[in-house]
Structure 1
Amino acid sequence: MTIEVFEHPALSSAAAQLSALRAAAGRLGVPDPVAALRHLDCSPASISASASAVDTGALGMTAAQEEFRAGVDRAETGGSSEAFGTWADTVDGQYGAAARAAASTAALGVRIAAALDELAKSAAAEVCSLAEAASAAVDAVLAGDRSAEVVSEVSAACTAVLRTVSAKVAALTGLAAELEPLTTPAVQLS
Structure 2
Amino acid sequence: MTSLAEVFEHPALTTAAAELSSLRSAAGRLGVPDPVAALRRLDCAPSAIRTSASTVDAGSLVVTSAQEEFRAGVDRAETGGSTETFGTWADTVDGQYGAAVRAAAATAALGARIATHLDELAESAATEVRAIASAASASVAAVLTGDRSAEVVSDVSTACTAVLRTVSAKVASLSSLAEELEPLTSPAVELG
TM-score (norm 1): 1.00
Q: Distance in 2 between matches of 1:33 and 1:177?
A: 29
State the superposition RMSD in angstroms.
0.4
Q: 2:110 aligns to what? A: 108
Matched, 1:187 2:175: no
Query: Distance between the aligned counterparts of 2:60 and 2:39, measured in 1?
Result: 35
What does residue range 33-182 of structure 1 map to in structure 2 within 5 Å?
33-182=35-184
Q: How many residues align?
A: 190
Runs of 4+ in 1 over 3 A off after TM superposition: none
CA deviation string 1:132-163 (max 9, x = no partner): 00000000000100000000000000000000
Tell me how far apart the structure 2 counterparts of residues 155 and 187 of structure 1 sit (CA, whole Å).
53
Task: For residue 179 of structure 2, give the secondary structure of its aligned residue in structure 1.
Answer: helix
1:7 counterpart SS class: coil
Q: Distance in 1 between matches of 2:148 and 2:175?
A: 39
Structure 2 gaps of 5+ residues are none
Shift of 1:3: 1.0
In 1, Cα distance between equivalents of 2:112 and 2:62: 19
2:33 corresponding residue in structure 1: 31
Deviation per CA, 1:29-76: give whole Å up to 9, x if none.
Answer: 000000000000000000000000000011111111011000000000
The 2-side partners of 1:85 and 1:176 are apart by 40
1:2 Cα deviation from its structure 2 partner = 2.2
Task: Provide the residue aligned with 2:14 in structure 1.
Answer: 12
Measure the CA separation in 1 of the matches of 2:178 and 2:164: 21
CA separation in 1, counterparts of 2:155 and 2:113? 38
| Identity within the alignment, % | 76
